[in-house]
Amino acid sequence: MTAAVPMPGVRPRRPAARLLNALIWPALLLIGLFTPLLPRLLAPLSAGVPPTTDSPLWQLTLVHLALVLGAEVIVLAIGVPLAVYVTRPGRAALMQLAEAVTGLGQTVPTIAVLALAVPALGFGTGPTVVGLILYGLVPVVSNGVAGLLGVDRAVQDAAQGMGMSSWQRLTRVELPLSLPVLSAGIRTSTVYNVGTATIGAALGAGGLGEPIINGLSQQNTGLVLLGAVLAGLLALSLDGLLGLLTPEQR
């Protein structure tokens, strides 16, 4: 399992480019949700008729967004403290175990995770959220560990020499310096889960997976693409907006 960090030698995006990236994808998403343009473009793939859904597209998108963001809050509540705990001195073996266990979340097929959760949680949002948490933990934990281990030891020694306690060094030095790497993991986790959440529609969780599942059952390519394109635009929109909120790596 590797951390999702930028490649060496790649320049961070300039503020103007990050702002443009954060505006263009949400604008395209809104066009797709509130105008008939996208269904009309997909009409040739839907027997000449613009594909339609039982619920409004904006409502499906809000449900999808709630699933992803709700799961991501739980991922952060588990993943960040776990990364901090296992990177404390003398816990190298525990750190390897934590990374291996969380890494299992992406080695098991998504549909298998959801199917295993159904007997305990029933159909609906429950098993979907469990699957999103398992998949979302991997980049958050791995990047959190990588970011904390990457803090210069000389900086930590200097902070200790200034009389800072372990808690002060963590909150004032280690976490701020590791934030760019951790933020990259959060963005990766969020984008992963936008795609993963579409499978939850098969269990009745709703969201943008509904037109995809219905399109597959009806052999309607236009309806499948309607859900897929909007899910892709939602993922790019979240990535762009999170990019504005997170610091760049130097």
* CB 135, CB 107: distance < 8 Å: no
Distance CA 52, CA 46 (A): 10
Average pLDDT over residues 170-176: 89
Between the alpha carbon of residue 1 and those of residues 6, 90, 93, 139, the distances in Å are: 15, 21, 15, 9
Distance CA 140, CA 151 (A): 17
- How many other CB atoms are found less than 10 A from the CB of residue 59? 14
Helix, strand, or coil here: 24?
helix
Distance CA 247, CA 209 (A): 32
Distance CA 18, CA 81 (A): 29
Least confident of 17-21, 162-166, 223-227: 17-21
Judge whether residue 5 has pLDDT over 50.
no
Q: Calculate ∠ Cα 123-127-128, nearest 5°.
A: 105
CATH code: domain 55-245 is 1.10.3720.10
The pLDDT tens digits of the residues spanning 123-164 come to 778 888 988 998 899 999 999 999 999 988 888 888 888 888
pLDDT band at 64; cut points 50, 70, 90: very high
Instruction: Report pLDDT for 16.
Output: 76
Instruction: Report pLDDT for 134.
Output: 87
| CA-closest candidate to residue 210, choices 92, 91, 55, 9 | 55
The residue extents of the domains of the chain are 55-245
> In this structure, which amino acid lies at residue 173?
V
Instruction: Report pLDDT for 10.
Output: 40
The pLDDT tens digits of the residues spanning 71-117 come to 999 999 999 999 999 988 888 888 888 888 887 777 777 777 777 77
* CB 37, CB 28: distance < 8 Å: no
Q: What is the pTM of this model?
A: 0.85
Count helices and strands in the chain by DSSP H and E runs: 11, 0
Instruction: Report pLDDT for 250.
Output: 52
- Compare 238 and 124 and report the one with higher pLDDT: 238
Average pLDDT over residues 219-227: 95
Task: Give the rounded percent of residues in the chain with a pLDDT score beyond 70.
Answer: 91
Give me the chain's average pLDDT, please: 86
Task: Give the rounded percent of residues in the chain with a pLDDT score beyond 90.
Answer: 49
Judge whether residue 4 has pLDDT over 60.
no
Instruction: Report pLDDT for 6.
Output: 46
Q: Phi, psi (5° rounding) for residue 197? A: -65, -20
Instruction: Report pLDDT for 249.
Output: 57
Over the Cα atoms of the chain, what is R_g? 21
Least confident of 81-95, 129-143, 201-215, 236-250: 236-250
The tokens for 66 are 């709630």
